Amino acid sequence: MKRLPMTAVGHAALADEMRHRVSVERPSLVRRIQQAIADEPNMVENSEYQVALAEQSVNESRIAELEDKLARAEIVDVSKFSGDTIKFGATVTLSDEDTGVQRVWQIVGEPEADASKHKISISSPIGRALIGKSKGASVVVETPGGAKTYKVRQVNWQDERSEQEHL
């Protein structure tokens, strides 16, 4: 079984989503299906029933996916790391060498990656390119639009909760 590295915050978010899907979404969908059957017993022509059944299928698939990810989770305690070398969990400040634009990214596991929250997967092209690099290094990343070069400006090992507030 392949382990999935993730931060404690990422693990907690997945566990919260699973609890919500199991304790709130699942019973709600069961009630909707029961109500749809009560309103129209001909299930073939009952559109409410068909929609609720499809939503239930999506919910159950996501629950199974979350169970799998949580079972394979390997929680990495980022607070124990330090130094200028980039590893899993590092929060990295990069500047685009062409435009000078700076961005801050935390390198996290695939299940918790979310670019809108400044979290990139360790298996993404930029995540793979950054691992093992240090502050001051130039990093070339192959993107669909061509190679991009970034300069590593800073490597931080802050507590994830305070880092989230910063981002």
Q: Kindly list the domain boundaries of the chain, sorted by start residue.
A: 4-75, 78-166
Query: What's this model's pTM, rounded to 2 decimal places?
Result: 0.79
Task: Flag whether pLDDT at 167 surpasses 80.
Answer: no
Share of the chain above pLDDT 70, in %: 94
CATH 3.40.50.300 is held by the domain 4-75: no
Whether the per-residue pLDDT at 165 is higher than 60: the answer is no
Q: Is 78-166 the same fold as 4-75? A: no
| CATH for the stretch 78-166 | 3.10.50.30
Residue 136 per-residue DSSP state: T
Residue 138 has pLDDT above 50, yes or no: yes
Q: Work out whether strand 91-96 and strand 146-156 pair parallel, antiparallel, or are unpaired.
A: antiparallel
Residue 159 has pLDDT above 70, yes or no: no
Mean pLDDT confidence for 76-103 = 90
Residue of 163, 92, 97, 88 lying closest to 134 (CA atoms): 92
- Please determine, for residue 161, whether its predicted confidence score (pLDDT) is greater than 90: no
Give the pairing of strands 4-7 and 73-76. parallel
User: What are the pLDDT digits (tens) for 16-47?
Assistant: 999 999 999 999 999 999 999 999 888 888 99
